[in-house]
A and B are shown apart, each in its own frame.
Chain A
Amino acid sequence: MTAASVPNAAPALLPADTSIDWNRITRFGGLLALGLVFISLAGMPLGLNQRTVIEPVLSLGYLALMWLPFLAGYNVGNEIVLEGMEATKKGPRDLLGGLIVGAIGGVGLSILVLLIDNFDLRDPLVNWSPQLLEFLNFENGVGFGSWIWIPFCGLLGLAGASLQLMSQTMRRAVMTVILAVIVLSVFEFLIIDIVDPLKKVLYAQQGGLKWGAAIVVAILAAAFSLFGREPISQVRSNYNDATGPEKSRQTAVLIGLSVLALIVIPMFTGKITQELLANVGIFLLLALGLNIVVGLAGILDLGYVAFFAVGGYTTAVLTSSNRGEDWPSWFPSEIHWVLALIATVIMAGIVGLIIGAPVIRMRGDYLAIVTLGFGEIIRLLFLSDWLNGYFNGAQGITNIPPADFGIFEIKGTDPRSVFYLVLFFAAISIYVSWRLERSRLGRAWMAIREDESVAEAMGINTVNVKLMAFVVGAVLASFSGAIFATKVGSIFPTSFLILVSIIILVVVIVGGMGNIVGVIVGAFVLIGVLGGPKQPGLLQEFSEYKLLIYGALLIWMMLKRPEGLVPNARRSRELHQDEFLQDAWLKGEVDDAVPDSGDVDGTVAPA
């Protein structure tokens, strides 16, 4: 896949190498062992053990360890098949590889068991505890625990590797089964909340899928994967192939249905689900704004939380009865939420200009750090004694009243109303982003993202256009801030840590930079399942580990799939330009001299 391997690929159709790659196996095994030990010492197995996936055989704690050998076993047999090369035939070689990799990983855990049993390192390492030892021993004593992980992980690695031997359909079926069981168990709470009778059918008293139900779900998922895929892909290709008015009619139906679902679902769910949806919505609004700045215009704004804070604080100052005492008496106070929102939007636009103007000429990476600095400065100012008379410092502004619309009220104790408000603004934001993307301004943003100098040579006023991105992003974030202030009813500087910026960035990147659908998916998956910076998600047990997972996700996405889960076609072409060109060259579609990527260092383009 990398440019460096191209010269080797040029003499096409090399005979497949059939020997066992011991180097690769030991490397994978060592990494696996390290990973397993790290997960154990980070406390994930113990912390997650309370939650059952399948009653009574599998808890989330053991699952936290088991997925890793499985994945390693699968990946050790993975290979990158270059254009013009032949894939090696999968066989017992891969099974053996997976088995050995898993077993090496298991050795890591065995050593850990023996170490915990013999040494006390609890002083620096908080999870070096007898409880962890018990957990790793399957509560069967050290004699059992010291060897059981080796065959266990080996078998998991073998199972992972056996996926390599299966046909595409089979592999997909197995994946669907695993995913269905896990999703059903993770979403237990949500599903019960929506369809209460399912509780008795699917789930055990103390939580977790009943094992019988798990088998039924597995069979259904397998059946769906084997027989249900055809009609669905049919529908999908129908949609993709449709053109003109037919396509826009289908799109309209699709959007209408999803909006209807989002309006109807909260009516039947409990408060916690509504709260969850409201949180997802607030972060979705932020992510949509950042998507314009980062995804469309390619400006990496790490201080995006500043606009969220400005939105929240402006609304709070204008509506609260408990703002600081130093405000002059003529300054409007306790005004209606809608008026405050207008003021908030104007304020956010101004702050966007003020922050944007000095940074807009800087190199992309300097800009990132400087905006990060601005985000931190704004929080420090809200927190400082200096402006204490205006913003109440660390005590924050409390007593923010509900937004009163006559017939209905938006208040934090009624998360459903907040959700509807968020939905309204999300609809506006989505519409705005969608129209902007296809406007002259949107095309200018994308041109700048791809190459600023060329964009400027084409007559785009890069400074103004980039400032516009800042302002639009700021305004969208201020919506979110205004809603957030009203929802929580009070506002503190600690709600606006840099952390928030980074989590929104992860949402945008995981979803797919520059793609509205991707951002929506990202917000629902990440904020909904893992939770926001302080807001719990569906997996409440994960709250301790979610930031770690966000970090790991960010690295993994950047390395493996920088275009995100739901990629934007143009963006993904930009990111993989080298590979597209290479493939084209290897297929002989392009002239010899073309793969001149220009920026690949240390690689000589093949002549």
Chain B
Amino acid sequence: MFPLTSAVQVKGSRRTTVDWFLVLIRVVLISLIVVGILAFIAQQIDPENAFAKWRNPGANRLTAAQFKGLVVTGLSQGAMYGLIALGYSMVYGVLGFINFAHGEVFMLGAFTGFVTSNKLAEAGLWEGAAFLPSVIMTAILAALIATGAAVLMERVAYRPLRGSPRLIPLITSIGVSFFIQNAVILLFGPGAKSYPSNPEWLQQKRSILTFEVEGTKILVLIVAAISMAGLWFFVERTKTGKAMRAVAEDKEIASLMGINVDRTIVTTFAVGGAMAGIAGILWGLLFRSVIATTGFLPGIKAFTAAVVGGVGNLGGAMAGGVSLGTAEATAPLVLLEPLGVDGVSQLRDAVAFTLLILVLLIKPTGLFGERLSSEDRA
């Protein structure tokens, strides 16, 4: 009836009470989603519809422009989640542990962007024709800093722990995340830091395929697409990328084939860090504000995206990020409001976590399949 979810069941033990409870949870969650979406459709057809009124007496039709706006917001946020998720996915693929501190790498990128962009704005370089070169420079700098942070944390905290039980590096990475977050608070102060405002021409809305999209979001999507394409080329078409894939498949055999495993792992961290750094800049351009805890929630959500797309699967990570972003942006209005939940926008984060739980319950290998080494497949 439902896909087998764990090795325990595969071994052929019979269903226990817990299994039935899990089936119940799945049924309840899925029927909630179905009912919510049906109520939304009913409300779109006619807000006076009895079914739409059933849970949400104040039902109102969502206009097409509103809906498209939600989708575009979701896509641009999802693209950032996807970029961060690549780092989680690659590290999990190679080392088999969740680098909890990866969200902080992203935050460091955003902070580098904050410092650089403000210095550039003081020099009058954050507007007009100078804007694009400035952004590119900032992005490169942020990627460098983020790469440096990722490589440093690998060297200091994770390399000595290679081969220890799986939870040990995870706990260490929680410590690293905590440390970086609080170090940034102490160095830069606890308040929110704002980016300089983007130039007029970037803020303007443009019409693409009937979608009215803000220029910043277009920029985010373009940069994300370019980075993704670059990463794909790097992993699939270069020798280093081949080495990375080999190490992810089996470290021992890879080292026997003459691959420098340590160096490949460092490369993995570096590439993941660079992607997170770029995502950090995009975050800054889009929300124009960054605080030391910025990395926490996007980090967790990016991990969710990696799981949704299938851990170790790069295309999956990007697709997972985009679907998570869209789900998170639309679900409050499409799913929760028709179900009669108040204050839905506060529950956006809860939506992301619920999605994570749902995916792990129903399809723990992700939508596009995991790519893990044999020892990590559990």
Contact = CB atoms under 8 A, between A and B. Distances in A.
Interface in A208-238: none
A300 B296 CA distance: 18
Contact of B166 (A364, A463, A464, A506): A364
A554 B174 CA distance: 8
Interface residues of A, number: 73
A384 B98 contact: no
Contacts of A3: 163
B199 interface: no
A380 B183 contact: no
B347 A384 contact: yes
A246 interface: no
Interface stretch (B70-78, B186-194, B228-236): B186-194
Interface string B1-34: 0000110100000001010011001000000000
A373 B357 contact: yes
B186 A124 contact: no
A547 interface: yes
A42 B346 contact: no
Nearest to B354: A377
Contact of B187 (A127, A302, A506): A127
Contact of A380 (B161, B251, B296, B346): B346
A505 B172 CA distance: 11
A384 B345 CA distance: 9
A384 B346 contact: yes
- Size range of the chain B interface in the assembly: 35 or more
Contacts of A2: 160
B183 A548 contact: yes
Contacts of A409: none
B165 A575 contact: yes
Interface string B161-202: 111111111111011111111110011110000000000000
Interface in A544-596: 544-545, 547-548, 550-555, 558-559, 562, 574-575, 578
Given A124-B118, A463-B8, A551-B180, 13 more contacts: A124-B114, A127-B187, A300-B167, A302-B174, A358-B361, A361-B6, A365-B166, A365-B167, A369-B356, A370-B356, A373-B300, A376-B300, A599-B375
B178 A357 contact: no
A509 B171 contact: yes
B178 A551 contact: yes
Contacts of B6: 361-362
A372 B356 CA distance: 11
Interface in A528-550: 544-545, 547-548, 550
A38 B188 CA distance: 12
28 contacts: A44-B186, A124-B188, A125-B187, A127-B187, A298-B167, A361-B6, A364-B170, A366-B307, A368-B170, A370-B353, A377-B353, A462-B8, A545-B182, A547-B181, A548-B179, A548-B182, A553-B175, A554-B171, A555-B175, A555-B176, A559-B157, A559-B161, A562-B168, A575-B168, A601-B163, A601-B251, A601-B252, A603-B163
Contact of B25 (A358, A374, A562): A358
B146 to A, nearest CB: 17
Of residues A462, A498, A558, A578, which shows the largest number of chain B Cβ atoms within 10 Å of its Cβ?
A558
A42 B167 contact: no
A126 B175 contact: no
A502 B16 CA distance: 32
Nearest to A370: B357
A123 interface: yes
A125 B172 contact: no
Given A124-B115, A380-B350, A558-B161, A361 B5 contact: yes
Interface string B270-310: 00000000000000000000000000100010010001000
Contacts of B172: 554-555, 558-559
A602 interface: yes
Given A358-B361, A366-B360, A559-B157, A551 B300 contact: no
A376 B344 CA distance: 16
A122 to B, nearest CB: 11
B126 to A, nearest CB: 15
A438 interface: no
B343 interface: yes
Contact of B22 (A358, A555, A574): A358
A363 interface: yes
Interface of A: 2-3, 38, 41-44, 123-127, 298, 300, 302, 357-366, 368-370, 372-374, 376-377, 380-381, 383-386, 388, 456, 461-464, 467, 498, 502, 505-506, 509, 544-545, 547-548, 550-555, 558-559, 562, 574-575, 578, 597, 599-603
A604 to B, nearest CB: 8
A298 B166 CA distance: 11
Interface string B346-364: 1101100110110011001
A364 B346 CA distance: 29
B357 to A, nearest CB: 6
Contacts of B162: 600-602
B255 interface: yes
A369 B179 contact: no
Contacts of B354: 377
B40 interface: no
B212 interface: no
A382 B375 CA distance: 40
B341 interface: yes
B107 to A, nearest CB: 14
Contacts of B163: 3, 578, 597, 599-601, 603
A114 to B, nearest CB: 20
Contact of B175 (A124, A381, A554, A597): A554
Of residues B25, B168, B357, B364, which shows the largest number of chain A Cβ atoms within 10 Å of its Cβ?
B357
A464 B16 contact: yes
Contacts of A562: 164, 168
Contacts of A372: 300
Contacts of A357: 18, 21-22, 25
A358 B22 CA distance: 6
Nearest to B373: A601
Contacts of A555: 156-157, 172, 175-176, 179
Contacts of B357: 358-359, 370, 373-374
Given A302-B174, A357-B25, A463-B8, A368 B179 contact: no
A360 B169 CA distance: 21
